[in-house]
Amino acid sequence: MSDLMKVSVTVNGRSYQAAVEPRLLLSDFLRHELGLTGTHVGCEHGVCGACTVLFDGQAVRSCLMFAVQAHGHELMTVEGLAPDPQHLHPLQEAFREAHGLQCGFCTPGFLMTLLPYLEQNPNPTEEEIRLAISGNLCRCTGYQHIVDAVKLAAEKMGS
């Protein structure tokens, strides 16, 4: 076993300290060390987008980063989206209302990709939406309902 390294990180507004192996992936750190299993792991090599989280506000693939790279940084996972257990974020509401998910495995990655995207692009065209989600793979929905959900989310987040 290699020497452990200290990681001090803020996730969803809460501080965590841990000692981890340098080779530990950020996705595995979030899921296995912090218990934040909303971040899903599909391909583990940067293709599917299921593991997307926010790193200092930017969408990143947590399977392509080591946990130690997050030291001193601020992360947000899908667990940080809803304001409280009784209410969903408008983005989540839109996915539910427009049937933007079936099995839901891909959904956390879509949501975390779309949060900063819609904050920066409040009125995207359908073509822009399709481009924005082109790095997130869904095996269930055929994407049309996801696109509809993003349009609805843009309306809700803008209102």
Q: Binding ligand FES by CB under 6 A: which of 30, 63, 65, 68?
A: 63
Residue ranges in 23-138 assigned as alpha helix (H): 26-28, 90-97, 107-120, 126-132
Q: Which amino acid is at 69?
A: Q
Q: Does 99 bind ligand FES (CB under 6 A)?
A: no
Q: What single DSSP character describes residue 89?
A: -
Q: Does 49 bind ligand FES (CB under 6 A)?
A: yes
| Choices 3-11, 68-76, 78-86, 101-109; region in contact with ligand FES by CB under 6 A | 101-109
Instruction: Estimate the crossing angle of helix 90-97 against helix 107-120, to 10 degrees.
Output: 120
| Choices 13-21, 30-38, 45-53, 85-93; region in contact with ligand FES by CB under 6 A | 45-53
Let me know: does 22 contact 66? Beta carbons within 8 Å.
Answer: yes
DSSP percent split of the chain into helix, strand, coil, nearest 5:
40, 20, 45
Q: Binding ligand FES by CB under 6 A: which of 36, 41, 129, 132?
A: 41
* Residue list 116-155, contact with ligand FES (CB under 6 A): 138-141
By the criterion CB under 6 A, which residues form the site for ligand FES?
Answer: 41-44, 46-51, 61, 63, 101-106, 138-141
